[in-house]
Structure 1
Amino acid sequence: MNVAASLSVRVARFERDADAVAAMLADYHAQTEAEKAENGLTEPGPLPERYAAEARDPASAFAGAEVLVAERGAELIGMAVLHRAGSDAEIKRLWVGPAGRRSGAGSALLTDAASRARAGGATGLRLSVWDWRIGALALYGRQGFEPAPSWESRERLVCLRREV
């Protein structure tokens, strides 16, 4: 079976997708917080409340943004949040669960986000990523993202941008 052929990206429908999106957000934040502790940026501990709130109620947390989901068959395997940031659109919380990695879901989410950004009148698409996420940095490079002046105050975040 051609995995890529069965992969699609759409806007989340929270009446149906809330639990899956919440689970992906919880996994994303848990991994990120563990990596931040491993890299000496934070102490190990429970998920900060601001992130736990996203996982509890993603529809409220991302009201006004588009939550994109990558779907393979009936299973949601990835997500990204897309919102306006001035003349650009910005991607937050790009996540593909372990079972969906190497399926093309990350690329499909980025391609869809760029298309939506362009259709919404944005001139560029931007994101930030931790400098230790080598695989993600490689993916973003393949998608045409280039280093950009930082809009982040947090140490070790790399800011990237591409034209849409």
Structure 2
Amino acid sequence: MTDRHEVVIVRRPGQGPATDRLAALLTAYHLRTEAEKGVAVTDADGLADRYRAEISDPGTAFAGDAVLMALSGDTAVGCLVLTAPADGRSEIKRLWTDPAFRNRGIASGLIRAALAHAAETGVATVRLSVWKWRTDAIALYERLGFTAADSWETRDQLLCMERTV
């Protein structure tokens, strides 16, 4: 892969191989997040129950949510979950790009697709929370129009952001 135009964003990956690819992306996301928090987890078995549930059955874990996956050919290179609308808002969760495919516009493509989906479903505001040490992600969100918001999170070190659609 040499060009970002080879990446396709798909909504709600189906069963079978697509679910396996999504599970692999979610596993990488959770393992990296735990490592960044200083928690030594070597595989999915060491993750919290709620994260293992997402990995083992993303269809159930994200029922009602919009699940987006970026594919390069048959290779899953990124994912994003946009929660079902509630009170005119949806939330971006689990944005992840395979490190080998970063800096090719995949994350911004996933976010733009999520914003388009939100607009199509009548959502007025999209919000997200991001660990404060993920400065590259924060810069991306700011470039895409997200601004800091009053926190709805109880966990320390999370920055809450939102933007109107």
Aligned residues: 159
Segments of 5+ residues of structure 1 without an aligned counterpart are: 38-42
The CA deviation string for residues 5-51 of structure 1, in whole angstroms up to 9 with x for no partner, is 212211132314110000111110001111112xxxxx535211111
Residues 8 and 108 in structure 1, CA contact (< 8 A), matched pair in contact too: no
Residues 67 and 79 in structure 1, CA contact (< 8 A), matched pair in contact too: yes
Q: Residue in 2 aligned with 1:44? A: 40
The CA deviation string for residues 62-82 of structure 1, in whole angstroms up to 9 with x for no partner, is 111111011122221000001
Output the CA distance in 2 between the equivalents of 1:158 and 1:10. Answer: 28
Residues 13 and 69 in structure 2, CA contact (< 8 A), matched pair in contact too: no
Q: Residue in 1 aligned with 2:147? A: 146
**Cα offset for 1:2?**
5.9
In structure 2, what residue type is equivalent to 1:4?
R
Output the CA distance in 2 between the equivalents of 1:122 and 1:10. Answer: 20
Are 2:53 and 1:53 equivalent residues in the alignment?
yes
| Percentage of matched positions with identical amino acids | 43
Output the CA distance in 2 between the equivalents of 1:87 and 1:60. Answer: 23
* Secondary structure at 1:159 match in 2: strand
Residues 90 and 127 in structure 1, CA contact (< 8 A), matched pair in contact too: yes
Output the CA distance in 2 between the equivalents of 1:110 and 1:68. Answer: 9
Residues 78 and 96 in structure 1, CA contact (< 8 A), matched pair in contact too: yes
- Range with greater deviation from structure 2 (81-90 or 24-33): 81-90
Are 2:80 and 1:80 equivalent residues in the alignment?
yes
Judged with a 3 Å threshold, the aligned counterparts in structure 2 of structure 1 residues 2 and 36 are, in CA distance, closer, same or farther, namely closer
Output the CA distance in 2 between the equivalents of 1:132 and 1:86. Answer: 29
In structure 2, what residue type is equivalent to 1:27?
A
Output the CA distance in 2 between the equivalents of 1:86 and 1:152. Answer: 17
1:105-124 → structure 2 map (5 Å cutoff): 105-124=106-125
Q: Residue in 1 aligned with 2:128? A: 127
CA RMSD of aligned residues (A): 1.4
Provide TM-score, normalisation by structure 1. Answer: 0.92
